[in-house]
Chain A
Amino acid sequence: MILDAALVVLALAAVVATVRVVVGPTDADRVLAVDLGFVVLLAALALLALRLGAPALLDLVLVGTLVGFLATVALARLAARRSG
């Protein structure tokens, strides 16, 4: 029950991140929104691993942590290069 409520809250946070990706005035805002999207995805994967009883999803959490870090750093370099 608590896990379901937490997943709903995470879905709302994903909507917020999507809105910021669309309207974000600068590229740095969009990079931040993608970062928050990764955080929401990883938290939802961890909770779904509990909810569905699928421990294989926890490996995805571990990999997604590293992929999210690399994606954020690479996008930040792109945003810094495009001066605007």
Chain B
Amino acid sequence: MTGMAGTTHQLTGGALGVVGQLLVVLGVALVAVGALGLLRLPDAYLRANAVTKAAALGLVLVLLGTAVLAPGLDAVLVLLVAAALQLFTVPVAGYAVGSAAWRARAPMDPRTQREEGTGPAVDPDGPDGPVGEAPDLRS
């Protein structure tokens, strides 16, 4: 059962097809690992780590594998442009989410090792967030 794919659009076969399938499988595995991290990691910053890796590397691998498997030059061009845009935009989005968590004082896991005077500790100095220096340290 190859579905309707075999009728009009023939997928790439042979060694190149194996390469494309390997890329797709690797990318989907990375997305799955990212989902596992989103489910299991203890705080928002670590989850941002997992999700950003899955979005950047996993989706780009899936798109590259699709570009290898897809028939026709149009599909390949569209997929390459989408992969490049994803590589450029994911770090920006990840930074925006991390910065938002920081400003909203999302709690850190207590096992996180951090330098003295940093971190979104509760400081009584006002709602301006941890941008200034030396918020008061809890213990």
A contact set with B: CB distance below 8 Å: 2-3, 6, 9-10, 12-13, 16-17, 19-20, 25-29, 31-33, 35-36, 38-40, 42-43, 46-47, 49-53, 55, 58-59, 61-62, 65-66, 68-69, 72-73, 76-77, 79-80, 82-84
Prevailing SS type, chain A contact patch: helix
- Measured CB to CB, the nearest residue on chain A to B5 is A53
Nearest 5 CB-CB pairs, A to B?
A28-B101, A80-B100, A13-B35, A53-B9, A69-B89
Q: Which of B9, B51, B82 contacts A36 (CB 8 A)?
A: B51
A9 to B74, CA, bound (A): 28
Query: Which residue, of A19, A32, A65, A69, has the highest number of chain B Cβ atoms within 10 A?
Result: A32
Closest chain-A Cβ to B67's Cβ sits at a distance in Å of 9
Find chain B residues with CB under 8 A from A28 CB.
44, 48, 97-98, 100-101, 104, 106
A-B contact count (CB 8 A): 175
Contact B44 A26 (CB under 8 A): yes
Contact A55 B104 (CB under 8 A): no
- How many interface residues does chain B have, given as a range? 35 or more
A39 to B32, CA, bound (A): 11
B contact set with A: CB distance below 8 Å: 3-5, 7-9, 11, 21, 24-25, 27-29, 31-32, 34-36, 38-39, 44, 47-48, 51, 54-55, 58-59, 62-63, 66, 69-70, 72, 74-75, 78-79, 81-82, 85-86, 89-90, 92-93, 96-101, 103-107, 127
Find chain B residues with CB under 8 A from A62 CB.
78, 81-82, 85
Contact B78 A59 (CB under 8 A): yes
Find chain B residues with CB under 8 A from A73 CB.
92-93, 96
- Measured CB to CB, the nearest residue on chain A to B29 is A9
Find chain B residues with CB under 8 A from A43 CB.
27-28, 31, 58-59, 62-63
Q: Given A12-B32, A28-B101, A72-B96, A39–B59 Cβ distance below 8 Å? A: yes
